[in-house]
């Protein structure tokens, strides 16, 4: 029985021994046979580049009108839907007008009395039954009554509160039954014109000075047209281009920046007042420059750098000096000469000095 057990165990020891197929891999085993990681690369080239910095901006309405009560009264009706589009002159609120209607009727009666009185005085003037002074006083009294009538009619008209401009109106700030206009012109709602819209953005004055110096030295050429583009909060480009309409003549002492304004069409109402955006403003053209995708530039303890694919497809880190923006690319001022293979995707798998498998990057 013991002999049978010993014979049965021999194959097991043989299979687990040094030469068996279950032996652990030694140096240069399975880990060394792993294929190199795949990375996407582009070839660095030189050429004309339009300098287009991305600047922080905020959307503002072209025109904003505050709807206010011009006379005192009780709100009877709200004549619009909150958040709807309204047109200039459209009635928005109706106030109780009974008091003002009565005042207008009384003013009309007063005007009629003064007119008849003037007619009577003027008829007596030729026969010297009244003096010229009395006639002048009667004429002045009529004018005063007519002015009071005009004021009474205006107050009656103001009991209907209209829209001053066309645009989109916000929520009503009062409800039916509210007393408005006592002591001040009560704010009832706000209208904002959303087509087109303005975008206010800032640029550091130091950047502007550097740009002007480079243009004066002939290193850069002026960008014709100065087109303006937007990047929305979700990172997507805005489908419509704008135009630059204003550049401030002074520098904000608190930020050291100047304020600029551009106008954009807004047919889909994608741009709402207060929205933060990124503005791309074409400012100059560099005739011979290197621009690389933003995602290719990395940051480390020693500054910014890129990863290149060198001889034998090994990864080579290269420090670079980043300059202005060119759309969604960085202009490289120093560190690249052109012709290098630049890793733009898969950097987390690329170890300096280790081999990689470079493949052409997909076109964006």
CATH for the 37-50+287-364 domain, from 3.40.50.300, 1.20.140.10, 3.90.400.10, 2.40.420.20: 2.40.420.20
| Model confidence pLDDT, tens digit, residues 56-83 | 899 999 999 999 998 999 999 999 999 8
Task: Write b or e for each residue in 81-92: b if 16 or more Cβ atoms lie within 10 A of its Cβ, otherwise e.
Answer: eeeeebeeeeeb
| Model confidence pLDDT, tens digit, residues 247-257 | 888 888 888 88
Residue 150 has pLDDT above 90, yes or no: yes
**Cα distance between residue 322 and residue 168, in whole Å:** 44
Please give the model's pTM, rounded to 2 decimal places: 0.65
> Cβ-count burial of 261 within 10 angstroms (0-12 exposed, 13-18 middle, 19+ buried)?
middle
Instruction: Please state the φ and ψ torsions of residue 182, each to the nearest 5 degrees.
Output: -85, 110
**Cα distance between residue 316 and residue 340, in whole Å:** 11
- State the pLDDT at residue 2: 41
- State the pLDDT at residue 11: 42
Residue ranges of domains in the chain: 37-50+287-364, 53-62+194-282, 71-89+161-192, 97-158
At 87, is the pLDDT very low, low, confident or very high (cuts 50, 70, 90)? Answer: very high
> What average pLDDT score do residues 129-136 get?
86
CATH for the 71-89+161-192 domain, from 3.40.50.300, 2.40.50.100, 3.50.30.30, 1.10.300.10: 2.40.50.100
| Model confidence pLDDT, tens digit, residues 281-320 | 887 888 888 888 888 899 888 889 999 988 888 899 999 9
Residue 224 has pLDDT above 70, yes or no: no
CATH for the 53-62+194-282 domain, from 2.40.30.170, 3.40.250.10, 1.10.10.10, 3.50.50.60: 2.40.30.170
> Cβ-count burial of 307 within 10 angstroms (0-12 exposed, 13-18 middle, 19+ buried)?
buried
> What average pLDDT score do residues 112-136 get?
87
> What is the CATH code for 97-158?
1.10.287.470
| Model confidence pLDDT, tens digit, residues 10-23 | 343 334 444 444 44
- State the pLDDT at residue 281: 82
């Amino acid at each position: 029985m013991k002999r049978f057990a010993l014979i049965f165990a021999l194959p097991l020891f043989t299979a687990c021994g040094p030469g068996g197929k279950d032996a652990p891999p030694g140096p240069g085993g399975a880990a060394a046979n792993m294929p190199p990681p795949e990375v996407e690369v582009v070839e660095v080239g030189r050429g004309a580049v339009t300098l287009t910095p991305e600047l922080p901006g905020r959307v503002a309405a072209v025109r904003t009108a505050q709807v206010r009560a011009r006379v005192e009264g009780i709100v009877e009706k709200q004549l619009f839907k909150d958040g709807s589009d309204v047109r200039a002159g459209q009635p928005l609120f109706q106030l109780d007008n009974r008091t003002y209607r009565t005042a207008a009727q009384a003013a009309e009666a007063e005007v009629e009395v003064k007119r008849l009185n003037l007619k009577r005085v003027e008829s007596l003037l030729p026969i010297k039954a009244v003096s010229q002074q009395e006639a002048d006083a009667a004429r002045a009294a009529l004018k005063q009554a007519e002015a009071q009538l005009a004021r009474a009619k205006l107050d009656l008209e103001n009991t209907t509160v209209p829209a001053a401009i066309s645009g989109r109106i916000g929520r009503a700030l009062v409800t039916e039954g509210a007393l408005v206009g006592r002591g001040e012109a009560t704010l009832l709602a706000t209208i904002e014109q959303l087509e087109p819209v303005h975008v206010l953005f800032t640029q550091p004055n130091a950047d502007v000075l550097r740009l002007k110096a480079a243009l004066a030295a002939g290193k850069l050429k002026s960008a014709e047209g100065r087109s303006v583009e937007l990047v929305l909060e979700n990172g997507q480009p805005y489908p419509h281009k704008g135009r630059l309409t204003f550049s401030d003549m002074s520098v904000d002492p608190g930020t050291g920046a100047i304020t600029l304004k551009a106008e954009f069409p807004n047919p889909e109402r994608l741009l709402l007042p207060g929205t933060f955006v990124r503005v791309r403003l074409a400012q100059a053209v560099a005739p011979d420059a290197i621009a690389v995708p933003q995602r290719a530039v990395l940051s480390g303890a020693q500054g910014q750098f890129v990863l290149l694919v060198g001889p034998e497809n090994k990864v080579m880190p290269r420090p670079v000096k980043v300059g202005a923006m060119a759309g969604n690319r960085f202009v490289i001022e120093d560190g690249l000469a052109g012709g290098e293979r630049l890793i733009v995707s898969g950097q987390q798998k690329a170890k300096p000095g280790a081999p990689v498998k470079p493949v052409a990057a997909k076109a964006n």
